[in-house]
Structures are given as C-alpha cells and as structure tokens.
C-alpha cells in the first residue's frame, strides 16, 4: 500500500473515532509538502473543522496524535497553519525502496479495456512537415506512450489531408510551371518539391489578383476571377468527378509527398497503427450528410449548399457540403469519426490538433452527439495545443516562411556536434559514435524543449537555448544519465554488488529527498495521463535530476568509507538512472551511456 493510501485510511479512521464522522477516503486531500517544511506529505485539515468544532490548528494536532497511534510508521508530524505535515520513518522508506525495486516504474492500471484512439500528425500533401507539425507529432507520440504506460491499449492513427482545394493549388502550379520536374530530377524530397509549388501558386495568385484590381475589379472580385484560382477550383471538381488525367497527377504527387513524410517520421521516431486518407473517408461523410438531409437534421440552402443550424446551441450555421456539391473538412471528419467508432469501439477518441481548430471540433462533437444522436461521440476529446513561434515571428506555409522539420533536425544535430567539439568531447568518440551521439543530443534537445511546455500554451522555440548543457534541457538530463552510468561502471569494476537489500543505519536528508522524488514518479505519470500533458513528466525529471546532481556533488559515493552507505547511494543512483531512462522514453527521447 502506498503512503498516501495509508494516510487516508488512518485519517478516515481517526475522524470516525474523534468526531464520529464517516469520510470517504478519496475525498481526503493530500498535498506534496512545501519545500520550506521538512515532511513527506501534507494533509489538508480545513474540511474537518466544522465537525471537530475546533480551530484548524487544534483539529490538526488531534488528528496527528490519533493517526500516529493508528499508524506507527508515522515518525513525526507537525502543524503549520492548519495543515498537518506527516513524516514516515526510515524503515518505511527503505521497505518501499526495496519492496518495489524497479516496479516503481510499472504503473499499468487500466488493462483489458476498450482502446483509446489518438489522432495526430494529420499532414497536408501540399507541403512538407514544419515546426508546427513537429509539436503535433511529438505531443501525439508522447501522449500515446504515457497512456500505454498506465495500461491503456492505444491505437495511433493519422488522417492524411490528401484532397481539397489546397492540394489542387500545388497540382495546378506544378502543371503550369514544373516542365516535368520530379523529386529525382531535382534531387529534392517529394514533399519539399510539392511545397515549393504551393508557395509558387500563392505568389502567382497574388500577382494575378493585383493585376485584376489594377483593371478596376474589387479585391473580392479579383480573388474570385483570378485565372489560377479558377483553375484550382475546376481541378477540385474534376477530381471529385474522377477525371482520369487529374486523378493520375494527384496520385503521382501524393506518392512523392508520402515518401517525404515517411523519411521525416523515421527521423522523429514516429509511427502509426493505421493511416486514414481524406480521399477515402470524405465520401462516407457525404453519405452521412445526405442521410441527415433526408431526415431533416440538416437543411438545403437556397444556393444549393447543405448546412446545419447550430445557433440554438450558441454556435452558428455550418456548411457541410458546398453549393457545387464538394465537401469541406467537417464532412470527412464526420465520416472518419463514424468509421473509427465502428472499427475500434474505443472508450475515447483524442484529436491532437492546434487551437485554431477549437470551433471546428466544437461543431463536430455537437453534430455527432446532439444532431445525429451518436452516444459514443461524447467520448471525443480535442487536445487543443498552442502555436509554436520563432524569435522572428509567426510562420506561414503559403509564403514559404515556415521552418522545415528536416532542416530543423539537421540544424539541431549540427549544433550538438559543434557544442561537443567545443567542449573537447569529440576526442572520446569515433566518427560514427560522434554522429549517433549528436543525433541523440540534437533530437533530444528539440523534443524536450517542445514537450516541457504545457500543450495548451503558445511557445517560442529557441534552438540555441534548447541545447544548452545547463538549465531545463534534454542535454542536461542526458549528461546526468551518462554521469550515473560512468559511476556504476566504476562500481562494477570495484566488484560492488548493488543487488542486495541493505539495513541502513540512517537516512540522511539528501538521500531522503531523492527517495521522495523517485516515489513521486508514479503519481506524475498518472497525472500526465489524466491531463494528457507530457510537460508534467518533463519538468518532474528535470527537478529530480537537479536533486540528484546536488546529492552527487555534496555526498561522497565511491569515496564513502561506510560500505553499506556507499552501496545504498549506488542503488539510489541506479534507480535514478532507470527513472531518467523511463521518463525520457515516454517523451520519445534516448539517453546515452556515455557523453
């Protein structure tokens, strides 16, 4: 039984004996003790003062005395402003340390249930993945890891946006200006080649709009009449009508994009259990809309479009099919949601999509639940994350001002290489080892810097800051892991056996602080799973590493004369390294044995 459960059980019994009140254990509030006070756990007493008819301080004192008699493992307690601070004895902590062993990393508690379906990435086949996609992918992969760590069956899905007007823009530009250029002929990744033509379309479109305005058209008229935009709209109609030459060009360019995406995913360590394509799901969505129209759920507008009126629900009127019969994003999302519910019968469907789509997912859930009556759609959850910006400002795909994901990863590895060389570390590795280490450090820095920020917040990405060996960064944590590995290797050469259970005479404050931090790990992972927030784990392991480094610098380990204490400190170091490795793996980050 964990310490929190023991405290709540003792508190519940004490309240019954002292004040004749029955309190459910799950309603008893426990907090982590503030750093300025020396204790393990803090019990919030204020909810009980009405029953005790005493001051908070008197209530806490009585509770502390009664709980200590019921639970002898409580070594001491103190009362601070109505809060009851509780300290467990040394033996309890040692029993936890040795009884659980590495099991403190085993958190699974939700096995044999329906799966959780997590959609992330969702690239468009008209451009390569960029920094914004990197945050999406890293959040998605990490959240899946964390959900699995607490025992969920997770299905990672990707919905590729491979159709629509934006795809047609790249196709039109390639058709007009490419002169047959291919990834092979240009030595470019396919997704980058297509992205170049998406940017070119926007430039040509703006040029044509300005020319039409000069001829006397209004801005709105010019945007509609621009020949290149009319070409794109016609191409979308031709695509939905299965015009052979349009479909063939579309297939060819999409294959280029898929090949490029796969290379980027492999670099990031991203994989999916199933990939959906909008081109295959939008028809199901259209059928659902047509059925809804026949049932009177949706309405046909006078311009021929199909819409749903959500004004009574605090939203507005939403177009589900355009007047020319073509579908919109919400159309295929309706189809995809129904398809997944039928395929997987999930207990939850999570969409990891930027906060600019908050309204979209409000509409999607409202239509599926309230309008179409799908009970399972109440399990839909939109993890709305903030935007990533650079010191130079916002990124725009159409204008070609985005930070390409591949270029970013290459830059991070280059910065890592240069830093290692400046520190003289490169002398310790051959070329291949140096390359692998630079990749581990560079990608780790990128991933950690993004994941340490609460997903809901906007963030500023600074490559130089992310790779600093000091501060809240992956390289700082990775270096600590390598330091512990070096320490354990030295102990192994000295034939020190760290596998045996010890009877330690005392538990010094620095060792106790590290033990407490390791104990917190399960709670942190469970909280991260409940809140879908990897930053909780990132910041937890940073704080734990800080505690370890202070312990390492202030406490003799291999130089300790007391053999039992030396071995115990090595065991603590070993557990810390395993906690670092496990937590960083949940973030998708590797840690080196040597650095």
The domain limits of the chain are: 3-88, 120-389, 405-586
Yes or no: say if 37 and 86 are a contact pair by the CB < 8 Å rule. Answer: no
- Sign of the Cα torsion 477, 480, 484, 489 reads positive
HSE-CB for 379 with a 13 A CA cutoff: 17
pLDDT tens sequence for the chain (595 residues): 589 999 999 999 999 999 999 988 888 999 989 888 889 999 999 999 999 999 999 999 999 999 999 999 999 999 998 899 999 999 999 999 988 766 666 666 655 589 999 999 999 999 999 998 999 999 999 999 999 999 999 999 999 999 889 999 999 999 999 999 999 999 999 999 999 999 999 999 999 999 999 999 999 999 999 999 999 999 999 998 999 999 999 999 999 999 999 999 999 999 999 999 999 888 899 999 999 999 999 999 999 999 999 999 999 999 999 888 888 889 989 999 999 999 999 999 999 999 999 999 999 999 999 999 999 999 999 999 999 887 765 444 444 456 889 999 999 999 999 888 887 776 778 889 889 999 999 999 999 999 999 999 999 888 888 888 888 999 999 999 999 999 999 999 999 999 999 888 888 889 999 999 999 999 999 999 999 999 999 999 999 999 999 999 999 999 999 999 999 999 999 999 999 999 999 999 999 999 8
Question: Which residues contact residue 211 at a Cβ distance below 8 angstroms, ignoring those fewer than 6 apart?
Answer: none
- Which backbone phi and psi does 594 adopt, to 5 degrees? -140, 140
Length of the chain: 595
- Which backbone phi and psi does 382 adopt, to 5 degrees? -100, 110
9: Cα separation from own chain's centroid: 35
Find out if CATH 3.40.50.620 is the number for domain 120-389: yes
Report helix, strand or coil for 491.
Answer: helix
Yes or no: say if 201 and 170 are a contact pair by the CB < 8 Å rule. Answer: yes
Measured between alpha carbons, how far is residue 129 from residues 120, 274, 393, 404 in Å?
Answer: 13, 19, 18, 6
Measured between alpha carbons, how far is residue 206 from residues 80, 201, 226, 461 in Å?
Answer: 67, 9, 9, 30
SS3 string, 536-578, reads HHHHHHHHHHHHHHHHHHHCCCCCCCCHHHHHHHHHHHHHHHH
CATH of segment(s) 405-586? 1.10.730.10
3-88 against 120-389: fold identical: no
CATH class, range 3-88: alpha beta
Instruction: Output the six-digit token pair for 594.
Output: 């040597």
Instruction: Output the six-digit token pair for 71.
Output: 């639970």
Instruction: Output the six-digit token pair for 247.
Output: 């479909």
Yes or no: say if 84 and 43 are a contact pair by the CB < 8 Å rule. Answer: yes
């Amino acid at each position: 039984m964990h310490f929190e459960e023991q405290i709540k059980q003792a508190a519940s019994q004490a309240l019954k004996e002292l004040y004749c009140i029955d309190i459910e254990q799950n309603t008893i509030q426990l907090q982590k003790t503030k750093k300025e006070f020396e204790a393990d756990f803090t019990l919030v007493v204020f909810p009980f003062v009405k029953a005790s008819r005493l001051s908070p301080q008197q209530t806490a004192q009585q509770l502390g005395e009664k709980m200590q008699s019921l639970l002898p493992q409580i070594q001491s307690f103190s009362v601070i402003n109505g809060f009851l601070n509780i300290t467990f004895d040394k033996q309890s902590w040692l029993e936890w340390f040795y009884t659980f062993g590495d099991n403190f990393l085993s958190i699974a508690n939700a096995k044999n249930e329906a799966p959780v379906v997590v959609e992330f990435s969702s690239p468009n086949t008209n451009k390569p993945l960029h920094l914004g996609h990197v945050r999406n992918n890293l959040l998605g992969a990490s959240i899946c890891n964390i959900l699995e760590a607490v025992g969920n069956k997770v299905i990672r899905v990707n919905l590729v946006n491979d159709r629509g007007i934006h795809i047609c823009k790249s196709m039109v530009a390639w058709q007009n200006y490419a002169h047959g250029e291919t990834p092979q002929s240009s030595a470019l990744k396919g997704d980058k080649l297509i992205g170049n033509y998406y940017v070119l379309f926007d430039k040509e479109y703006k040029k044509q709009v300005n020319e039409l305005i000069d001829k006397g058209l209004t801005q709105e008229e010019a945007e509609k009449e621009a020949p290149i935009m009319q070409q794109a709209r016609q191409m979308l109609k031709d695509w939905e009508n299965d015009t052979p030459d349009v479909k063939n060009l579309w297939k060819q360019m999409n294959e280029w994009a898929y090949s490029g995406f796969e290379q980027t995913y492999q670099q990031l360590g991203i994989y999916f259990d199933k990939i959906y394509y909008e081109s295959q799901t939008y028809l199901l969505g259209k059928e659902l809309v047509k059925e809804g129209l026949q049932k009177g759920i949706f309405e046909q507008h006078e311009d021929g479009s199909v819409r749903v009126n959500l004004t009574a629900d605090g939203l507005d009127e939403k177009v589900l099919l355009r007047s020319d019969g073509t579908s919109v994003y919400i159309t295929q999302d309706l189809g995809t949601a129904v398809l997944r519910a039928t395929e997987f019968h999930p207990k939850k469907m999570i969409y990891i999509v930027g906060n600019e789509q908050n309204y979209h997912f409000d509409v999607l859930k409202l239509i599926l639940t309230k309008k179409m009556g799908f009970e399972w759609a109440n399990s839909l959850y939109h993890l709305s994350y903030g935007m990533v910006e650079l010191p130079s400002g916002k990124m725009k795909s159409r204008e070609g001002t985005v930070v390409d994901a591949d270029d970013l990863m290459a830059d991070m590895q280059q910065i890592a290489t240069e830093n290692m060389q400046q520190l003289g570390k490169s002398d310790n590795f051959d070329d291949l080892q140096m390359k692998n280490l630079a990749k581990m450090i560079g990608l780790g820095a990128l991933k950690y810097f993004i994941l340490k920020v609460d997903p809901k917040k906007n963030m500023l990405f600074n490559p130089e800051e992310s790779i600093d060996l000091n501060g809240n960064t992956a390289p700082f944590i990775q270096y600590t892991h390598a330091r512990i590995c070096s320490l354990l290797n030295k102990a192994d050469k000295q034939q020190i056996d760290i596998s045996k259970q010890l009877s330690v005479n005392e538990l010094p404050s620095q060792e106790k602080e590290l033990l407490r931090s390791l104990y917190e790990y399960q709670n942190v992972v469970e909280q991260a799973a409940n809140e879908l927030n990897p930053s909780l784990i990132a910041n937890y392991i940073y704080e734990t590493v800080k505690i370890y480094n202070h312990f390492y610098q202030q406490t003799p380990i291999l130089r300790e004369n007391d053999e039992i204490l030396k071995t115990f400190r090595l065991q603590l170091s070993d557990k810390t390294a395993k906690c670092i490795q496990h937590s960083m793996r949940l973030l998708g980050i590797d840690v080196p044995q040597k650095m």
